[in-house]
């Protein structure tokens, strides 16, 4: 049987988006838009979580079902939509992520923290954080802050744009017995309130690509990293089919209030991690994808001399799929960019 091509999947993704816009030309059918985009998100996420090559036929079948549902939906003709409150990108982003993290119970939160060490171990990278001063930039409610404390950090800091996330992280650290080692502070990663070379280890996982100036954020990260220290950075790699799907979803969901989407996912009893992942990719206002070559140029520009690329991880990580399944190469592109950097 002939394998379904990347282009054919892209065309089917575009057809779904066009069918939704045709059924709802004025952006009123929030339920239809949320249901179809979450359904496709879940299908893709389930397929990339399987320990086998990506099932293109199953994904294509799901796209066709979504298109049929949109095409058979009554056309929504109401022309007026409630005006959205004006928000800065920073305020929007902070509110979005602060809501995502509060869904986790303490046990779920601790389970998520374990992913920090697991990805390093799988990639054969040994981190010695004992007695070190560490910080996680864009920490959310602090899962990696706790992970660094567990790894022996003498000081483990969390820094995030959201006051709500910082408050949640502080409260969790107190409840879980980490308040003596874990500290939290609010602010922008584009203007860090720390002296040069303040930290032995700086972590920034999936954050810089959501800022208005990723290059400035990387320069700030480098500035506060000690010259004999280490920085860990994760960014979105370009060229994935996932970005084609989420570009369509972002366009379709642009008219849907994020509060409505949060409520719909809650009603569907969606797991906290999936709420986070869906809302992250669909609603965050800034999102950059970048190639390895582009990112390495940026690393050199801020002074890093060497780095290790982490090519292993969870099954849903595109780098892991690229390593295990050669037939997925056209679907994952550059894959995840996870770098351990040194001066």
In this structure, what CATH number is given to the domain that contains residue 218?
Answer: 3.40.50.150
Please report whether residue 86 resides in a domain. no
Q: Which SS3 state, helix, strand or coil, does residue 3 take?
A: coil
Q: Are residues 181 and 146 in the same domain?
A: yes
Q: Are residues 117 and 225 in the same domain?
A: yes
Please report whether residue 141 resides in a domain. yes
Q: CA 207, CA 25: separation in Å to the nearest integer?
A: 33
Find the helix or strand (DSSP H, E) in which 231 lies: strand 225-235
Q: CA 287, CA 243: separation in Å to the nearest integer?
A: 10
Please report whether residue 18 resides in a domain. yes
Q: What are the tokens at 201?
A: 């280890």
Q: How many residues does the chain have?
A: 343
Q: Are residues 30 and 115 in the same domain?
A: no
Q: Are 176 and 146 in contact (CB under 8 A)?
A: yes
Q: CA 246, CA 40: separation in Å to the nearest integer?
A: 10
Q: Residue 316's domain spans which residues? A: 92-238+289-342
Please report whether residue 126 resides in a domain. yes
pLDDT tens track of the chain, all 343 residues? 678 999 999 999 999 999 999 999 989 899 999 999 999 999 999 999 999 999 999 999 999 999 998 998 888 765 444 444 456 777 777 776 666 666 667 777 777 777 778 888 888 888 899 999 999 999 988 889 999 998 999 999 999 988 888 998 899 889 888 888 899 999 999 999 999 999 999 999 999 999 999 999 999 999 999 999 999 999 999 999 999 999 999 999 999 988 889 888 887 888 877 888 898 899 988 899 999 999 999 999 999 999 999 988 888 889 989 999 999 999 999 999 999 999 9
Q: Are residues 152 and 174 in the same domain?
A: yes
Please report whether residue 315 resides in a domain. yes
Please report whether residue 80 resides in a domain. no
Q: Are residues 225 and 325 in the same domain?
A: yes
Q: Are residues 209 and 332 in the same domain?
A: yes
Q: CA 318, CA 314: separation in Å to the nearest integer?
A: 9
Q: Are residues 57 and 114 in the same domain?
A: no
């Amino acid at each position: 049987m002939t394998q379904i091509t990347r282009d054919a999947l892209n065309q089917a993704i575009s057809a779904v988006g066009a069918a939704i816009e045709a059924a709802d030309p004025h952006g009123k059918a929030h339920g239809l838009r949320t249901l179809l985009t979450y359904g496709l998100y879940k299908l893709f996420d389930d397929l990339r979580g399987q320990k086998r090559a990506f099932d293109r036929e199953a994904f294509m079948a799901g796209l066709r079902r979504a298109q049929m549902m949109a095409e058979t939906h009554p056309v929504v003709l109401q022309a007026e939509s409630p005006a959205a409150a004006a928000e800065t990108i920073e305020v929007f982003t902070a509110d979005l992520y602060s809501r995502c993290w509060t869904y986790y119970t303490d046990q779920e939160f601790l389970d998520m923290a374990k992913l920090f060490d697991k990805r390093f171990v799988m990639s054969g990278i040994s981190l010695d954080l004992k007695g070190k001063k560490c910080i996680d930039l864009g920490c959310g409610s602090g899962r990696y802050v706790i992970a660094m404390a567990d790894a022996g950090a003498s000081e483990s800091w969390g820094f995030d744009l959201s006051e709500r996330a910082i408050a949640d992280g502080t409260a969790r650290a107190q409840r879980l017995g980490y308040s003596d080692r874990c500290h939290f502070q609010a602010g922008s990663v584009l203007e860090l309130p720390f002296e040069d070379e303040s930290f032995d280890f700086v972590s920034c996982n999936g954050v810089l690509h959501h800022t208005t100036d990723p290059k400035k954020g990387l320069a700030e990260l480098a500035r506060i990293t000690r010259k004999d220290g280490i920085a860990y950075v994760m960014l979105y790699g370009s060229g994935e089919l996932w970005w084609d799907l989420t570009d369509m979803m972002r366009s379709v969901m642009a008219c849907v209030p994020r509060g409505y989407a949060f409520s719909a996912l809650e009603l569907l009893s969606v797991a906290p991690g999936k709420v986070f992942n869906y809302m992250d990719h669909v609603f965050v206002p800034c999102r950059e994808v970048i190639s390895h070559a582009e990112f390495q140029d940026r690393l050199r520009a801020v002074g890093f001399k060497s780095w290790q690329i982490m090519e292993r991880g969870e099954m849903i990580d595109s780098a892991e799929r690229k390593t295990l399944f050669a037939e997925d190469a056209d679907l994952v592109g550059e894959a995840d960019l996870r770098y351990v950097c040194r001066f």
